[in-house]
Amino acid sequence: MEKLKTPGLLLDIERVRRNAERMSEIALRNGVRLRPHVKTHKCVEIAKIQTAGHSGAITVSTLAEARAFAKNGFNDITYAVPIERGKFDQATEIVQSGVKLNLLTDDAETVKALNEAAGKAGVRFDVFLKVDCGTHRVGVEPQTAEAIEIPRLISDSKNLHFAGILTHAGHSYDVRTKEDILAVARHERDVMVGLADRLRSQSIEVPTVSVGSTPTMSLIDDLNGVDEIRPGNYIFCDNFQATLGSCSFEDTALTVLTAVIHKDATRRRLVVDAGAIALSKDRGPVGLDPSCGYGRVLDLEGNETGMRVTSLSQEHGEIEAGNADIFERLRVGDRLRILANHSCLTAAQFSHYNVLENGSIVNKWEIFSGW
Ligand SMILES: Cc1ncc(COP(=O)(O)O)c(C=O)c1O
């Protein structure tokens, strides 16, 4: 670890395997398909671990991820951001390369334009209706007329196939207790099963009901009526997830290796070389833990030091050491690890993972960023 460039990513592979196993069991126990969201890591080797024993289906957040994973043998991919006409050509190319690419929309005009584009290109797209189950980010309101009309329009479009309904309970991150997460999870399920029933009563076939976030899928007790789950963050977890209670701190698999670049003994402050472009400025669990800062500072073995990254500029991370014992021992050039608030945003800043097994770096795995 002394020879690695800083800032750099350290991936605890044993924890990754354990996290993968746990979510795999949740899917199998509930009789649902697992389609993990790979935007968390954007890494082929990690996706292979998560999909072992499952169909190999994945979810992506960019078409660059779709292309990279398609080149590496993944051929059933859901692009889980609403499609818009500026991306039709890229989506067409991916489908023409032999991949089953599922798209999603909440917009009738886009359905018409997509059908036309697919006709011209001689391809067929699988299209989900994106549903808002309470996050109010994107998606149709489940009780509205368009929640029926858009699926009917997709079903009636010659060059499209209605793939089903899909939601993401992002508001599960805004609650305070495990009981509240469970309530959001049950609501997510009930909204979707209710809408599927309504569509089926109107003779619209609904092949797949797709749900999932890490908090809701970690705590859900019954997924009756759901076909597929798409959690992503569970593979790494992070300071936010552990503070929220959907995992424990022993599950967190990704840390940032950083070097001390300044020590101010008078003010008991440290500055490290992991700033906002290494950790991201995500405030994570600040609603639950006002002193969370931008991440927990760990020693090289991964033990808590009691310190937090208190402020960030682009490449500087500032740490108020408070009473932390380790402060006296630390010198400029020493290394620390940081458990960031949001692992997906942190990983997306880097080019590769340094894979850590039994205390040694055993591999270097590529991250496919870009758009
Ligand atoms: C559409 C969609 N599905 C699934 C996920 C995965 O959720 P999580 O990161 O909580 O596991 C996300 C995350 O933002 C998402 O946007």
Q: Residue ranges of the domains in the chain?
A: 13-235, 249-366
Q: Comparing C-alpha atoms, which of 245, 243, 271, 252 is closest to residue 343? A: 252
Is the CB of 231 within 6 Å of ligand 1?
yes
- Rounded to whole angstroms, the Cα distance separating 244 from 293 reads 15
Cα separations (Å) of 75 from 29, 56, 63, 85, 239?
A: 25, 8, 13, 23, 33
Fold of 13-235: TIM Barrel (3.20.20)
Is the CB of 171 within 6 Å of ligand 1?
no
Alpha helix locations (H) across the chain?
A: 13-30, 44-51, 63-71, 88-96, 108-121, 146-156, 178-201, 214-219, 239-244, 276-279, 326-329, 343-347
- Rounded to whole angstroms, the Cα distance separating 124 from 6 reads 46
Give the pTM: 0.97
Please answer whether residues 218 and 234 qualify as being in contact, where contact means their C-beta atoms are separated by less than 8 angstroms: yes
Closest residue by Cα to atom 8, ligand 1, is: 213
The Cβ-side half-sphere exposure at 159, using a 13 Å CA radius, reads: 16
Is the CB of 214 within 6 Å of ligand 1?
yes
**Ligand 1 mean position to 213 CA, how many Å?**
5
3-state secondary structure at position 214: helix
Closest residue by Cα to atom 15, ligand 1, is: 168
Chain length of the chain: 371
pLDDT > 90? residue 307 = yes
The DSSP bridge partners found for residue 308 are 296, 320
Q: What average pLDDT does this structure show over 281-296?
A: 96
- Least-confidence region, from 1-5, 156-160, 308-312, 327-331: 1-5
Q: Probe ligand 1: pick from 19, 168, 244, max atoms within 8 Å of CB?
A: 168
Q: Which amino acid is at 250?
A: E
Q: Which class for 311: exposed (0-12), middle (13-18), buried (19 or more C-beta within 10 A)?
A: middle
Q: What DSSP string runs through 4-27?
A: S-SSEEEEEHHHHHHHHHHHHHHH
pLDDT > 90? residue 2 = no
Cα separations (Å) of 17 from 10, 47, 65, 142, 235?
A: 15, 11, 22, 36, 8
Is the CB of 233 within 6 Å of ligand 1?
yes
Question: What pLDDT shows up at residue 248?
Answer: 97
Cα separations (Å) of 156 from 14, 115, 149?
A: 48, 10, 10
Going 14 to 18 to 21 to 23, the CA torsion angle's sign is: negative
Q: Which CATH number fits domain 249-366: 3.40.109.10, 1.10.150.20, 2.40.37.20, 3.40.50.300?
A: 2.40.37.20
DSSP 85: G
Question: What pLDDT shows up at residue 324?
Answer: 98
**Ligand 1 mean position to 167 CA, how many Å?**
9
Q: Probe ligand 1: pick from 230, 343, 346, max atoms within 8 Å of CB?
A: 230
Please answer whether residues 246 and 214 qualify as being in contact, where contact means their C-beta atoms are separated by less than 8 angstroms: yes
Is the CB of 168 within 6 Å of ligand 1?
yes
* pLDDT-above-70 percentage for the chain: 100
pLDDT digits (tens, 9 = 90+) for 197-233: 999 999 999 999 999 999 999 999 999 999 999 999 9
Is the CB of 213 within 6 Å of ligand 1?
yes
Three-state secondary structure along 228-247?
EECCCHHHCCCHHHHHHCCC
Q: Comparing C-alpha atoms, which of 248, 268, 154, 140 is closest to residue 206? A: 154
**Ligand 1 mean position to 81 CA, how many Å?**
10
pLDDT digits (tens, 9 = 90+) for 30-46: 999 999 999 999 999 99
- Rounded to whole angstroms, the Cα distance separating 5 from 9 reads 9
Query: What contacts 175, CB < 8 A, 6 or more positions away?
Result: 181, 183, 184, 244
